[in-house]
Amino acid sequence: MGKFVVRETKTGIKFDLKAGNGEVIATSEVYTTETACMNGIQSVRNCCVGEVEDHTVDEIVQVKHPKFEVYLDKAGEYRFRLKARNGEIIATSEGYKTKNSCLNGIESVKKNAPDAEIVKEN
């Protein structure tokens, strides 16, 4: 089972969603308060049902928010970002070598986020 790991950074507080094997599958922005971070976790839980909008193809088929956007980064790796109903980015992925791996990451978010426990790290 996955878990949201909440931890403090030098500039605030953030979370990582980890799969059952401990791999990070999505990361949040840095929040200024723990309450805002917890709201971000709830937003990921609520929005992880979104469809995929693929920005790596010539003809992008727009889908409604919430959604996962798949794109290529500057290094040529595939990444996704989860956008909330208001269009805000609420979680991002690591870089993947293949689009299929990136899509598997999205499926892992969909599977793990709804029931993931919240763990605070020091």
Domains present along the chain, CATH in parentheses: 3-121 (2.30.29.80)
Look up residue 96 and give its DSSP letter: B
Can you list the residues of the chain whose pLDDT is less than 50?
Answer: none
Question: Residue 72: its pLDDT value, please?
Answer: 97
Q: Alpha-carbon distance 122 to 119, whole Å?
A: 10
- In the chain, % helix, strand, coil (3-state, to 5) comes to 25, 35, 40
Question: Residue 1: its pLDDT value, please?
Answer: 84
Q: Alpha-carbon distance 94 to 39, whole Å?
A: 22
Question: Residue 110: its pLDDT value, please?
Answer: 96
Question: Is this structure's pTM higher than 0.85?
Answer: yes
